[in-house]
Amino acid sequence: MDPRTLIDTNFSIGLPAPIWFIELFKALGFTLHEVPMNLWYAGILLAMLLHVFGSEHGRRFSARLMAQMPIIIALGVNFGIVPLLFIQVGFAPLFYPATILMSWFWIAVIGLMIPAYYGVYLYAFGLVEGPSMAVWKRTAGWISALFFLAMGFLFANALSLMENVGGWMELWAGHSVHGAALGTALNVADPRLWPRWLLMFGLALTTTGAWLALDSSWFARCESLEYRVWAKRFAWRVYTVGVAWFLLAGSWYVFGTWSEELKQEMFGRSWIALTGLTIMAPLGPWFLLLAASRQEGEISQTRAAFIGLAQFAVLGLNAVSRQLVQHLTVRPYYDLTLQPTAVQWSPLVVFLITFVLGLAVIGWLIRELVRLPAEGKSETA
């Protein structure tokens, strides 16, 4: 059966935004989401390992990261709404069938997220107990780490299944009753699933490494110089492992699972620059970290800021390339660029105004925080 017949392409309510706008906010939202998501994805596991096996500084970093984690998760969940919204705007005919086929697993993300989130809070509250932290609080941290990895697997499943239209029929036939999906399918037979999942973990390690450098330089002024020097070197190590992982999993993904057509497109004249940049981009922050680790003393704030920005660019390039690969993979079944539009200009303008004003308010709040004295002299007591 032709998989194209499984996609509803006749929805006549036009796209409410220009296609470039949908693409832009989907990629921008995903990039913003990737920063905190990477930190909880690889960071929590790393923090748990360091707490058990790490040096004194390693345990210190573990505690610092886990103390920050509740806010990181809150922001990550918030930023994740943007790509989720725009993927449904642009790719509903692919997104809904894919997630319906694996409904129970997809909805399990919510069931995993709540205990994982509270587990992080429990662990963070337990940090005040120091090394004598209660076992059940440490266990909560480990459970959170594993749950976030499981959520990553489920996300990789849903998003790869969205592109695996050719596999829908078999999954549906094997997981349905009276033609209705049981929601018990997983896209595990898709060779793209595993490298995608692993690739994201490698990328998450690099972000964690970059964050370590940024945190030690900008937010850890109260820590000892030894810690900050250690952090600089350890950041490079984590980043190195992340880059190696990223390149290995990425090679598997690209050369082991991409179709010839996709390779021709991505390595062709049109997109070779983007593909090359996406592959090579992690080397930028890696070199910056390498150079920093070779120098005496702690990492400078300027260099740390550059590392942070370079890592954001890495994630941005990754998001753009993912989006392009998604387009090219699903194009035989569904072409977003051919969808009719009925742009809602006045709501769009109101949104942009609200967005700018909202950012201004957030900027003002952050400015007020930055202006606070380091020791937190209270004016409210």
Partner 1 sequence: MIFGTRLRHSRGLDGLPVGSVATHSNHISRWFIDLRRGIFGCRWAFDLAPKRFVAPVHEINLPVRFHTENDSMHYPWWYVPQLTAPMLIAAISVIHVLISHYAVGGGLFLAVETTHAYRIGNRDYLAYLKRHARFFVLFTIVMGAITGVGIWWTIGLASPLATQVLIRTFVFGWAIEYVFFLLEIVSAFVFYYYWDRLPQKVHLAAVWIYGLSAWASLVIIAAITAFMLDPGTWPVNHCFWAALLNRQSLPQIIARTGGALLLGSLYVYLHAAITVRDQKLHGLIESRATRPALAGAVMIAAGGALWFLNLPASAQAALLAAPVLNVFMGLLFAVTGIVCFLLILGPCLNPGWTSGPGFAVSLLFFGIIGFSTSEFIREAVRKPYILYNVVLGNQIFPDEVARFREKGYLQSGIWTRAFVAKHHPDAIVNGRIDTKRLLVLPREKRVELGGVIFQHHCNDCHAIRLGYAPVGPLVQGWSPQMIRSLVNDLEHTRFTMPPWSGNGDEAELLTDYLTSIALDRPAGMLPERIRK
Residue among 113 and 241 whose Cβ is closer to partner 1? 113
Give 245's contacts (C-beta < 8 A, 6+ positions apart): 198, 201, 202, 205
Question: Do residues 106 and 160 lie in contact, with contact meaning Cβ atoms separated by under 8 Å?
Answer: no
Which two structure tokens, joined as six digits, stand for 261? 């057509």
Q: Does 8 help bind partner 1 (rule: CB under 8 A)?
A: yes
Distances 222 to 192, 219, 268, 342, 345 between C-alpha atoms, Å: 45, 8, 51, 54, 49
Q: Can you spell out the DSSP letters for 225-254?
A: HHHHHHHHHHHHHHHHHHHHHHHHHHHHHH
Near partner 1 by CB under 8 A, which window of 191-199, 203-211, 224-232, 357-365?
Answer: 357-365
As a whole number of angstroms, the distance between CA 294 and CA 72 comes to 30
The one among 135, 177, 222, 273 contacting partner 1 by CB under 8 A: 177
The one among 166, 183, 191, 284 contacting partner 1 by CB under 8 A: 183
The one among 135, 273, 369, 370 contacting partner 1 by CB under 8 A: 369
Point out which residues pair with 15 in neighbouring strands.
Answer: 341
Give 199's contacts (C-beta < 8 A, 6+ positions apart): 246, 249, 250, 253
Near partner 1 by CB under 8 A, which window of 46-54, 114-122, 255-263, 295-303?
Answer: 114-122
At residue 197, what is the residue type? W
Closest-CA residue to 329 (of 155, 154, 91): 91
- Give the x-and-dash track for 57-86 against partner 1 (CB under 8 A): --------------x--xx-xx-xxx-xxx
- 124-143 residues in contact with partner 1 (CB under 8 A) are none
The one among 24, 49, 100, 262 contacting partner 1 by CB under 8 A: 100
As a whole number of angstroms, the distance between CA 39 and CA 54 comes to 18
Point out which residues pair with 341 in neighbouring strands.
Answer: 15
Residue among 114 and 134 whose Cβ is closer to partner 1? 114
For the bound state, the minimum distance from the C-beta of residue 120 to partner 1, rounded and expressed in Å, comes to 9
At residue 97, what is the residue type? P
The one among 24, 28, 109, 244 contacting partner 1 by CB under 8 A: 109
For the bound state, the minimum distance from the C-beta of residue 163 to partner 1, rounded and expressed in Å, comes to 17
- 219-278 residues in contact with partner 1 (CB under 8 A) are none
- 22-51 residues in contact with partner 1 (CB under 8 A) are 25
Near partner 1 by CB under 8 A, which window of 110-118, 203-211, 258-266, 291-299?
Answer: 110-118
Q: Does 117 help bind partner 1 (rule: CB under 8 A)?
A: yes
Which two structure tokens, joined as six digits, stand for 118? 């509270």
The one among 18, 52, 55, 96 contacting partner 1 by CB under 8 A: 96
- Rounded to 5°, the CA angle 151-152-153 comes to 90
- 201-220 residues in contact with partner 1 (CB under 8 A) are none
Would you tell me how many other CB atoms lie within 10 Å of the CB of residue 59?
A: 17
Tell me, what DSSP letter sits at residue 295?
S
Near partner 1 by CB under 8 A, which window of 15-23, 126-134, 145-153, 313-321?
Answer: 15-23
